């Protein structure tokens, strides 16, 4: 390959990589105008003349979340819905509280990679890979103590479990201002309208009566 063709190939590759990522900021900020009637990928920008310091502020992440629920955990999200100033910035975070033996159930973030830091207690965490060439879904798991950090790649099923007898607290940073969350069990068994029990029975290789009992736990 000539040097001319080699440089051209590098240029095409660089352009393709740039087009595959989020666009760069074209202004200092784009505070979300949540009352806008304009539908777009994200939120329209508030008029900069009306932007205030409060648009970049959230208070209360020091407060313990209520873990008195079926799974024993609580997620306090801080994304663009709580801080309008996060719009277009591509970051957010969350506080996750765990009661003893509390679980943040298997879930995915369709738009973000997550990096989790344990502040108190210890957690058993893990994520499962997508289908590999050998059709395996490999589990990567680790026991984390205070100060430990673990990464969950974007779009992969992951979980956190407090196997101890004390409360645990973690902070999660995410690479999207609106990462989204799909809890696997809720989505599969609690959708509206529900997925046919015939389909789920075949997918999970169990009797339909089992599916009906599980769905009853998630339908509201």
pTM as predicted: 0.86
For residue 133, the model assigns a pLDDT of 75
Give the Cα separation of 91 and 113 in Å (integer): 10
Helices then strands, counting H and E runs in the chain, come out as 4, 10
Instruction: Provide the mean pLDDT of the chain.
Output: 90
Is residue 96 pLDDT above 80, yes or no?
Answer: yes
Per-residue pLDDT tens over the stretch 162-194: 999 999 999 999 999 999 999 999 999 999 999
Q: Check residue 28 and give left, alpha or beta (phi > 0: left; psi -120 to 50: alpha).
A: alpha
Tell me which CATH code domain 22-181 carries.
2.60.120.10
Task: Give domain limits for the chain.
Answer: 22-181, 190-220
């Amino acid at each position: 390959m000539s040097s001319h063709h080699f440089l051209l190939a590098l240029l095409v590759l660089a352009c393709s990589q740039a087009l595959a990522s989020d666009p760069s900021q074209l202004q200092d900020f784009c505070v979300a105008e949540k009352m806008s009637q304009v539908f777009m990928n994200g939120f329209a920008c508030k008029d900069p003349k009306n932007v205030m310091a409060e648009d970049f502020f959230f208070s209360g992440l020091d407060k313990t979340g209520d873990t008195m629920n079926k799974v024993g955990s609580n997620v306090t999200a801080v994304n663009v819905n709580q801080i309008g100033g996060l719009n277009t910035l591509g970051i957010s975070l969350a506080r996750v509280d765990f009661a003893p033996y509390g679980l943040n159930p298997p879930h995915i973030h369709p738009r973000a990679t997550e990096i989790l830091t344990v502040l108190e207690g210890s957690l058993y965490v893990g994520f499962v890979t997508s289908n590999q060439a050998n059709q395996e879904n490999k589990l990567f798991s680790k026991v984390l103590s205070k100060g430990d950090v673990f990464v969950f790649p974007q779009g992969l099923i992951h979980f956190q479990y407090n196997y101890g007898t004390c409360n645990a607290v973690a902070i999660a940073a995410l690479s999207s201002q609106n990462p989204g969350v799909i809890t696997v069990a809720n989505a599969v068994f609690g959708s509206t309208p529900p997925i046919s029990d015939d389909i789920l029975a075949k997918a999970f290789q169990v009797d339909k009566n089992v599916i009906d009992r599980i769905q009853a736990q998630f339908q509201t």
